Amino acid sequence: MTRFAAPISEQIWDMKYRLKEADGTPIDRTVEDTWRRIARSLAEVEADSAKWEEKFYTALEDFKYLPAGRITAGAGTGRKVTLFNCFVMGTIPDSMAGIFDMLKEAALTMQQGGGIGYDFSTIRPKGAPVAGVAADASGPLSFMDVWDAMCRTIMSAGSRRGAMMATMRCDHPDIEHFITAKSDSARLRMFNLSVLVTDAFMEAVKADGPWELTYGGKVFHTLQARDLWNKIMKSTYDFAEPGVIFIDRINKANNLNYVETIAATNPCGEQPLPPYGACLLGSINMARLVKDPFGPDAGLDVAALDDLVATAVRMMDNVVDASQFPLEAQAQEAQAKRRIGLGVTGLADALLMVGLRYGSEEAAAQAEAWLKQIARASYLASVDLAKEKGAFPLFDADKYLASGNMMQMDDDVRDAIREHGIRNALLTSIAPTGTISLYAGNVSSGIEPVFAYAYTRKVLQKDGSRTEEEVVDYAVQMWRDRFGDTPLPDYFVNAQTLDPQAHVKMQAAAQKWVDSSISKTINCPEDISFDAFKDVYMQAYETGCKGCTTYRPNDVTGSVLSVSETSDKAPEADSGADVIYMAEPLDRPQALEGHTYKLKWPDSEHAIYLTINDILVNGHRRPFEVFINSKNMEHYAWTLALTRMISAVFRRGGDVSFVVEELKAVFDPRGGAWMQGKYIPSILAAIGGVIEQHLIRINFIEGEGMGLKSDPQAQVVNLDNAPRGKACPSCGQFDMRMVEGCMTCGSCGHSKCG
């Protein structure tokens, strides 16, 4: 019998976590082999490795404890990858040499699979004088563009792209440009953006007072705080960015505020970290710990929870010693503080199993109680580790107990820490779990509500055919198994039908006992008023949240699948989407119209010829296929690969202008070339430019550097009335949704944030 609760779970394991040879031959024959590989690897640092290997295996078995994807995919493989998920890089110096040293460090970190965060507030604003060169500064956003281009070229561990978070203080002179940077859909695509909001700013907003934008002790501009707040809110209302981070609250609540100051977070925001800070992640699967689900004695098995948390903490502490680090500074930071981020997934499913409606007062109180239990168990387990292996090197009992979350911790835990020390400075965090929750049987993600009770996905078979399979939420499947076709109770709710205030209530309840932060998306209806939208953020601030991320579907951010609150049927299509994507490739007509372009790359003996053919859909031309040819045999393999891949993308329909953006961003380390007065960073970028000019020529895009602003062929034919969201760039399914701050595919788990 398979251990997987659903076919999609096995597919996720095979695609993302299963250890294979370079040619794709499986090394992990079963998921038990994967669990054994992880358990053995993390037990190697123990004196009694055989004992702890079995204990670790038991925790992993049946998906009870879910290490983050980098640990599951990388532990015990012998590959040069980091097992840490989250990094905040060093403070960026305000000098050209220092800035590009930081760029190099970022590239090295992402190359090993780490997502990174940076505070760009340390770079002088645009127009400020630069001493010694008789020039004005270009400002932090110009350097963010350089980071963005670098990130496009780095593929992280496995098939993950690097993910980045950029923060900027609310009093930086360039903050208004930062807020609106991503209103250009082609700019900073590899970044998430968040504004560092201070308590002083929030008080000025509430008082409608003035706000000074300063750098280096100089006031550059003064404006009304409420005007700046409204600008942040309007951008978020329209474009879903930037997020808001309440930075003073983060620093006050930090257990290590006596030795560090935080100014940035990892890409999804759940890990506020100091310069060179690193953190690994893992989640307790709450859905697996409910006894008698939906029955009269339904409840969480607290004894099993305590035991599982203690084992998980030990495993995660061992990762600190087992992992490689891209930079020595990161290794030193991790060793000095031994920070870990243990969180949960399946919380909403667990609440359903005990009969509670997500977002209700009772559910918030239960979530708070469960997370306090996890916090207590985590801290006491870390005390036990300190007795055995020693406290983290920067531990100072008096300062530690007088800082951050330790001020509210129970007296028995504080007494134990004072007597024995603690192994890990911070222990809890709630991370995005989109992929691992699918892997664990499609449990609800993190502390998010259930997104959809069920939906249908198309699966490409080895023979090229496609089959349909139903993907059912874990708790819904348990209900079906126990009660058959009995309708779901009225306490079953989902992300789309919940009031935004209910989302905030659950985040605030969880935050009380999470010493780092929480990755959570507050879903807002498309028709929410701007004033009501702003109230969501004010509620988050007033109720103790450390940050706030919202998602309001619209023409810019994209529509989400609509889900019935009372039905467990698959979600239905949102007919308001501007672009309808196709599940199947277009058929090729007998004849097509096209153009052939000659591209002569400097210093190359032979030209490259590009033929781009178009198809007519509803009276409008769109690109259908590309042929790239050259007499230079050194070019044969990659031009053939580009021909096949780009043509395959074009035949899928929808907005394919991203192909241009991706090609134009590729740079050749050997150097580019000047062509027609422009510097082109690589021959691939030149090909992207030719394709772009063709798309402009046929009116598929509006102009150079512009993606698909509106659908030029009205609506592409909807072939099968399947649910429609944005197409996943990894698997092509139309199941992209905002999960914990990142657009995530419900079918394959692909996430922008890695």
Residue 660 lies in a domain: yes
pLDDT grade for 99, boundaries at 50, 70 and 90: very high
Q: What are phi and psi of 517, to 5 degrees?
A: -140, -170
Mean pLDDT across the chain: 86
Helix (H) or strand (E) holding 608: strand 608-617
Q: How confident is the model at residue 735 (pLDDT cuts 50, 70, 90)?
A: low
Residues 736 and 728: beta-carbon distance below 8 Å: yes
Structure confidence at residue 657 as a pLDDT band (50, 70, 90): confident
653 lies in some domain:
yes
Q: CA 408, 414, 415 angle in degrees (round to 5)?
A: 150
Residue 629 has pLDDT above 60, yes or no: yes
pLDDT interval class at 148 (50, 70, 90): confident
Residue 133 is assigned to a structural domain of this protein = no
Highest mean pLDDT among 68-72, 179-183, 417-421, 609-613: 417-421
pLDDT score for 185: 76
What Cα–Cα distance (Å) separates residue 514 from each residue in 168, 253, 376?
Answer: 24, 10, 11
User: Measured at the alpha carbon of residue 375, what is the angle toward residues 43 and 298, in degrees to the nearest 5?
Assistant: 95
Q: Is residue 650 part of a domain?
A: yes
| Tally of structural domains, the chain | 1
612 lies in some domain:
yes
Q: Is pLDDT of 734 > 80? A: no
pLDDT tens sequence across 159-198: 345 589 999 999 999 999 999 998 887 788 889 999 999 9
Contacts of 460 (CB under 8 A, 6+ apart): 466
More confident of the two residues 545 and 750: 545
The pLDDT, as a whole number, for residue 573 is: 32
Give domain status of residue 365, yes or no: no
Q: What value, to the nearest 5°, has the Cα angle with vertex 244 and ends 241 and 248?
A: 160
**Residue 625 is part of which domain span?**
593-697
Most confident of 78-82, 584-588, 589-593: 78-82
> Worst-scoring range by mean pLDDT, 40-49, 103-112, 423-432?
103-112
Q: Kindly indicate the confidence band of residue 741, based on its pLDDT and cuts at 50, 70 and 90.
A: low
* Six token digits for residue 318: 């061992």
pLDDT at 271 over 80: yes
Single pTM value for the model: 0.79
Q: Lowest-pLDDT range, 73-87, 470-484, 549-563, 719-733?
A: 719-733
- Domain contains 622: yes
Contact partners, residue 483, CB within 8 Å, separation at least 6? 294
Considering only residues 131 and 491, tell me which one the structure prediction assigns the higher pLDDT: 491
Is 730 or 297 the better-scoring residue by pLDDT?
A: 297
pLDDT band at 416 (very low <50, low <70, confident <90, very high): very high
With 90 as the cut, is the pLDDT of residue 630 above it? no
Write the single-letter amino acid at 469.
Answer: E
In tens, the pLDDT along 665-704 reads 787 767 778 887 777 888 888 999 999 999 888 888 877 7
* pLDDT 10s digits, 510-533: 999 999 999 999 999 999 999 999
Q: How far apart are CA 553 and CA 189, in angstroms?
A: 18
Residue 386 belongs to what H/E stretch? helix 361-389
Whether 723 is in a domain gets the answer: no
Using pLDDT thresholds of 50, 70 and 90, give the confidence band for residue 155: very low
Residue whose C-alpha is closest to residue 149's, from 646, 663, 657, 601: 663
Q: What pLDDT was estimated at residue 432?
A: 86
Whether the predicted pLDDT of 564 surpasses 70: no
For residue 20, the model assigns a pLDDT of 93
pLDDT at 318 over 60: yes
* Cβ–Cβ < 8 Å for 545, 507: yes
Catalytic residues: 266, 268, 270
